[in-house]
Amino acid sequence: MNYAISIVLATAILFVPSITAQHARQDAWLSLLLAGAFGALVTYIAVRLALRFPGETVVQYTPRVLGPVLGKLVGFIYVYYYLFVAYFVQREFSELINAAYLSRTPMIVIICVLTLLAVYVLYQGLEVLCRVNTVVLWSMIGAIFLIIMLGIKEVRLEAFLPILENGPGPVILGAVTPGSWFGETTVILMLMPFILATDQPRMVKFNLLAVLVLFLVLEMIVVAAVGQFGAAQAATKLFPTLSLARHVDIPALPIFSRQDAVFMAFWVAGMLFKLTTFFYAGTLGLAQWLNLKDYRPLILPLAVVITALSFQAWVDITELKSFSGEVFPFAISFVQFILTGLILGVAVIRGIRPQPGKGGEV
Amino acid sequence: MPERKRRLVTRRLSEMLREVQQKRNTAEDESTLPANGAGNETYHYDKLKQMPLSASLAQNIAVLKRIFVDSPGFNVREFLVAGKIPVAAVFVKGMVDTLLVSANILRPLMHYTRDEPVPQGKGLLEIVQFAGITTVPVRTRDTIGEIVRDVLEGGVVLLLDQESRALSAEVTGFQTRSIEEPVSESVVRGPREGFTESLAHGLSLVQRRLKSPNLAVENHFLGRETHTQVSVLYIKGLVNPEHLAELNRRLKRIGDNIDGVLESSYIEEMIADRPLSPFPQALNTERPDRVVAALLEGRIAILLENTPFALVVPFEFQALMHASEDYYQNYWFATAIRILRYVALTIALIGPAVYVAITTFHQEMLPEVLLFQVVAARQGIPFPAVIEMLLIDYAFELLREAGIRLPRPVGQAVSIVGALVIGQAAIQAGLTSPLAVIVVAVTGIASFVVPVFSMAFTLRLIRFPLTILGGMLGLYGVIAGVLAIVIHMAGLRTLGLPYLGGVTPLHVSDLKDSVVRFPWWAMRGRPHELSKRNRQRQTPDLKPRPESRK
């Protein structure tokens, strides 16, 4: 559960308020409601599929479900999807650090540091990833809560009026991006074999709970951002959550006024674990796709590949932001929702069951 | 008449001694030891252990003399039991208490006066053992190896004629330090006894606190040449058998493959799960109360000869932040102190790094008033912040190291020079800003607050790369560095127990003894990962309250 929350939270808190506010204006909080519902649906489908083959990853069972050729192809789409999210995260992350903190440091340095950390985690395996995650996640949520609480007195409720000014259309549009982010819980398709058999039956509950917590946190941020800055400003700010942190002002204690160091600490950690998770899923997936016994030889080459991809894929931050609003959600929703649903549907109709005794190999 | 008897005895004695002498001369020729380059052979216990004693006193003496040919202090004392039967006492002078030897072994045997005659050969050993010598521990031995070991450990071994067994009596008498207050872990409240270099003292200190038949010990002898006794202590029923088996396996792996074990750090490094990590992977302590507390939690203690530092394994990172006194002080106060320590840990780790990062990259994060101060202080400093910080930090470490190694009177001179030169002159000369000196000073003091010294060393070490990262990549670099440390720690294990145990894997009941310390009546369970079989530490209903309300 911790897992799902932190991987989605990390990127979502960055852009969600501004992207959602672009479309839905003051109704951004309603968009999130929709997005949360969509996320819950995707999560439910993904967990159902994962539980149908509890000992295998999606790359391993698609060839049996969809036939060898199509199955391998779909398997590769999943692998690419995970790596795609990984390099998207890399780029997004370095853009923020570059824009907000280290404007004269070459972006390659920033990406390399983060990627090396991810490589270090991957060499140590999934267990370390989960352990660090538990340490960081709750402090991250705590930090967000602190930032919001410190600025709460400036939230103006008038900013949310009038409700549904332009009808439901913009609200639905605004829900698309956060919805796709909620859907990132589909990474469970790669992780299920490593969850204790005794815990697996509870995964449906856990993952839906994760979506709920996530929803609450994001809703808080959106409300805080729109409430403090107004819909118009929230939409134009590049990183509204960072602005929230910088906006904190306690006249009595000036030393606590600028919270962006705290924000950065937990956000770097969050991004690292999101990158690591998807990088792990992609590397493991590729290893299984190629029928390798161990994924470790692939770590460094893939790290180089995604680092390079993260550079050539987008020209600058404006393109990245419009991409993450207009292309990214549809592309990844296709994998998360349609492909996952398709595999589950075919598996149910053809009545394909897991092969006995076949477990996930690391 | 008495004159005649005396002459008779003398003659009989000299005859016997001559006999022994002759036997010995022949024995030396047919001695079973390989005779290549006499005096230069080396011997190992595992080989000697397979060599049985012969039934001939002369031959046994010859063999031992050959083994110990150049050994310091090796002695063979030949005498007659009850004035008739020849016996040899073998020992190393300086390792045994000679007064004890003469009072408890030589005197009773030489003056043996019982009605029944002393037999020659069969039955003699039993009489010597049960009616003769009066030392407390006496054991029978049948191989040369065992005898060699007993002698080297400060025992007296009695070799009898026509008997292929020997008797080994423990009369160790070397000098040891008396029990004193541990220097590295002193307390205001709590027991003031510390371990000494004597393992026997150590075991008794533990046993005195733990009067339970469940306290168990397993002994290993490590080191081909030093043959250091290592005692593994645990409490039956509390210890996790897997941990115990794993530890024993790792100690056996060291066994005789190392030539010497002089301090517990040898073992710490040889049983580490991650040999390349800078973090301590065994908890060292001089305090018997701390060892007993660990045993009660289901951990294992390793005590060894010749060092006052015992090891405790497995343990979690948080144990490095606890002092034994935390449990003897009021729990509110102990909690406050622990919070203080964690803050100190943070400062000691990232203090200089954050200073460098903020003054170099993120001036905008400082409130205006503070910013003006910082800028004014750094005006005219010829170095970038990171070089300035590394220089002063390095100077501080120099002072600290010099202070430790120097004799006390000189040490004072060093600290005066340090305070004046670094604190005053460097600032006046415009080489560093006063702020940097303050940061280094606070960092240095903060690193002293960490109660376990091996952890403080690790902190001092990690601080430098973090400072450099802060100078290169600002706060982002510092955070990346800290994350790398957290990742590393999350991957560490001691004897298979996760280093960050309690926090991850999370067990809420374990957090009662972490940053906070709950009162004793509330700490009902033992650490979760350690004692899966025996979780309950005490009965649930121990909170004191007025009798009437029960």
Q: Which residue of A has its CA nearest to B470?
A: A102
CB B194 within 8 Å of CB B288: yes
Pairing of strands B74-81, B85-92: antiparallel
Torsion sign over Cα B310, B314, B318, B322: negative
Report the first-to-last Cα separation within chain A, whole angstroms. 21
Nearest to B490 among A113, A132, A260 (CB): A132
The alpha carbon of residue A47 is apart from the nearest alpha carbon of chain B, in Å, by 23
Asked if A101 and B362 come within 8 Å (Cβ–Cβ), the reply is yes
Residues 506-525, chain B, touching A (beta carbon < 8 A):
506
Nearest to A120 among B366, B476, B487 (CB): B487
Structure letter (DSSP) for residue A173: H
Asked if B490 and A131 come within 8 Å (Cβ–Cβ), the reply is yes
Pairing of strands B300-304, B228-235: antiparallel
- Structural tokens at position B513: 């003894």
Average per-residue pLDDT for chain A:
77
B532 — pLDDT class (breaks 50, 70, 90): confident
Architecture, CATH, for domain A2-319: Up-down Bundle (1.20)
- Structural tokens at position B36: 């290549």
- In this prediction, residue A277 carries a pLDDT of 83
Asked if B475 and A265 come within 8 Å (Cβ–Cβ), the reply is yes
**Lowest model confidence (mean pLDDT) among A269-283, B108-122, B133-147:** B108-122
pLDDT in tens, B322-348: 998 899 999 999 999 999 999 999 999
pLDDT in tens, A283-338: 999 999 998 888 899 999 999 999 999 988 888 888 887 887 778 778 888 887 88
- In this prediction, residue A362 carries a pLDDT of 35
The 3-state DSSP class for residue B86 equals strand
A26 — pLDDT class (breaks 50, 70, 90): low
A359 — pLDDT class (breaks 50, 70, 90): very low
Chain B positions in Cβ-Cβ contact with residue A257 (cut-off 8 Å): 367
Sheet holding B300-304, edge to edge: B215-222, B228-235, B300-304, B310-313, B283-285
Asked if A131 and B477 come within 8 Å (Cβ–Cβ), the reply is no
Chain B positions in Cβ-Cβ contact with residue A127 (cut-off 8 Å): 491
**Which of B274, B364, B371, B483 is best to mutate for the A interface (most A CBs within 10 A)?**
B483
- In this prediction, residue B334 carries a pLDDT of 93
For residue B308, is the peptide bond before it cis, meaning its omega torsion is within 30 degrees of 0?
no
**Can you state the angle between helices A58-66 and A68-100, rounded to 10 degrees?**
150
**Which of B346, B368, B479, B506 is best to mutate for the A interface (most A CBs within 10 A)?**
B479
B496 touches chain A (CB under 8 A): no
Segment (H or E) for B394: helix B385-405
In the predicted model, is pLDDT for residue A23 greater than 70?
no
B260 touches chain A (CB under 8 A): no
The 3-state DSSP class for residue A199 equals coil
CA dihedral angle for residue A232, residue A237, residue A238, residue A241, rounded to 10 degrees: -100
Distance separating alpha carbons of residues B246 and B114, to the nearest angstrom: 54
Three-point CA angle B46, B67, B169, nearest 5°: 75
Distance separating alpha carbons of residues B446 and A183, to the nearest angstrom: 45
**Which of A2, A3, A95, A101 is best to mutate for the B interface (most B CBs within 10 A)?**
A101
Pairing of strands B283-285, B493-494: unpaired
Residue B239, Ramachandran bin (φ over 0: left; ψ between -120 and 50: alpha; else beta):
beta
Chain B positions in Cβ-Cβ contact with residue A264 (cut-off 8 Å): 475-476, 479
Residues 153-182, chain B, touching A (beta carbon < 8 A):
none
Identify which of A202-211, A329-338, B51-60, B454-463 has the greatest average pLDDT: B454-463
CB–CB contacts below 8 A, A to B: 84
Asked if B475 and A261 come within 8 Å (Cβ–Cβ), the reply is yes
Query: Which residues is B138 bridged to in the sheet?
Result: B169
B171 — pLDDT class (breaks 50, 70, 90): confident
CB A44 within 8 Å of CB A208: yes
Q: Match 């060393």 to its residue by tokens.
A: B457
Cα A30 to Cα A16, A172, A322, A327, distances in angstroms: 13, 9, 21, 22
Query: Which residues is B140 bridged to in the sheet?
Result: B167
Three-point CA angle A220, A222, A225, nearest 5°: 105
B97 — pLDDT class (breaks 50, 70, 90): confident
Torsion sign over Cα B403, B407, B412, B414: negative
Asked if B491 and A114 come within 8 Å (Cβ–Cβ), the reply is no
B234 touches chain A (CB under 8 A): no
| Strand locations in chain A (E) | none
CB B127 within 8 Å of CB B53: no
pLDDT in tens, B31-53: 555 544 455 677 777 778 788 88
Distance separating alpha carbons of residues A278 and A82, to the nearest angstrom: 5
Chain A positions in Cβ-Cβ contact with residue B477 (cut-off 8 Å): 113
B480 touches chain A (CB under 8 A): yes
A130 — pLDDT class (breaks 50, 70, 90): confident
Question: What residue type is assigned to position A345 of the chain?
Answer: G
CB B86 within 8 Å of CB B20: yes
Asked if A102 and B476 come within 8 Å (Cβ–Cβ), the reply is yes
B368 touches chain A (CB under 8 A): yes
3-state secondary structure B321-339: HCCHHHHCCCHHHHHHHHH
Q: Which residue of B has its CA nearest to A257?
A: B367
Contacts of B315 (CB under 8 A, 6+ apart): B282, B283, B294, B299, B494, B497
Segment (H or E) for B160: strand B155-160
Domain locations along chain B: 2-170, 199-315, 331-498
Percent of chain A at pLDDT > 90 equals 10
- In this prediction, residue A314 carries a pLDDT of 85
The alpha carbon of residue B408 is apart from the nearest alpha carbon of chain A, in Å, by 42
CA B466 vs. chain centroid, Å, equals 32
**Lowest model confidence (mean pLDDT) among A162-171, B370-379, B489-498:** A162-171
**Which of A90, A113, A116 is best to mutate for the B interface (most B CBs within 10 A)?**
A113
- In this prediction, residue A361 carries a pLDDT of 37
CB B105 within 8 Å of CB B89: yes
Asked if A134 and B506 come within 8 Å (Cβ–Cβ), the reply is yes
Q: Which residue of B has its CA nearest to A265?
A: B479
Torsion sign over Cα B514, B515, B517, B523: negative
CA atoms within 13 A on the CB side of B193: 16
- Structural tokens at position B312: 């405790």
Asked if A269 and B367 come within 8 Å (Cβ–Cβ), the reply is no
Segment (H or E) for A32: helix A28-52
The alpha carbon of residue B323 is apart from the nearest alpha carbon of chain A, in Å, by 24
Nearest to A120 among B362, B484, B504 (CB): B484
Distance separating alpha carbons of residues A338 and A347, to the nearest angstrom: 14
Segment (H or E) for B89: strand B85-92
B302 — pLDDT class (breaks 50, 70, 90): very high
Nearest to B504 among A113, A121, A135 (CB): A135
pLDDT in tens, B230-288: 999 999 988 989 999 999 999 999 888 898 999 999 999 999 999 999 999 999 999 99
Question: What residue type is assigned to position B115 of the chain?
Answer: D
Chain A positions in Cβ-Cβ contact with residue B498 (cut-off 8 Å): 131
Q: Which residue of B has its CA nearest to A107?
A: B473
Report the first-to-last Cα separation within chain B, whole angstroms. 90
Distance separating alpha carbons of residues A231 and A23, to the nearest angstrom: 10
Nearest to A268 among B369, B480, B490 (CB): B480
The alpha carbon of residue A261 is apart from the nearest alpha carbon of chain B, in Å, by 8
Distance separating alpha carbons of residues B547 and B45, to the nearest angstrom: 64
pLDDT in tens, A40-58: 888 888 888 888 887 888 8
B498 touches chain A (CB under 8 A): yes
Alpha-carbon Rg of chain B, whole angstroms? 32
Domain locations along chain A: 2-319
Distance separating alpha carbons of residues B263 and B152, to the nearest angstrom: 19
Question: What residue type is assigned to position A361 of the chain?
Answer: E
Asked if B491 and A265 come within 8 Å (Cβ–Cβ), the reply is no
Q: Which residue of A has its CA nearest to B370?
A: A255
Alpha-carbon Rg of chain A, whole angstroms? 20
**Per-residue pLDDT averaged across A265-274, rounded?**
79
B475 touches chain A (CB under 8 A): yes
Phi first, then psi, for residue B157 (nearest 5°) are: -110, 130
Chain A positions in Cβ-Cβ contact with residue B362 (cut-off 8 Å): 101, 261
Phi first, then psi, for residue B383 (nearest 5°) are: -105, 155
pLDDT in tens, B105-136: 888 888 887 777 777 777 788 888 888 888 77
Distance separating alpha carbons of residues B478 and B472, to the nearest angstrom: 9
A32 vs B147, more confident: B147
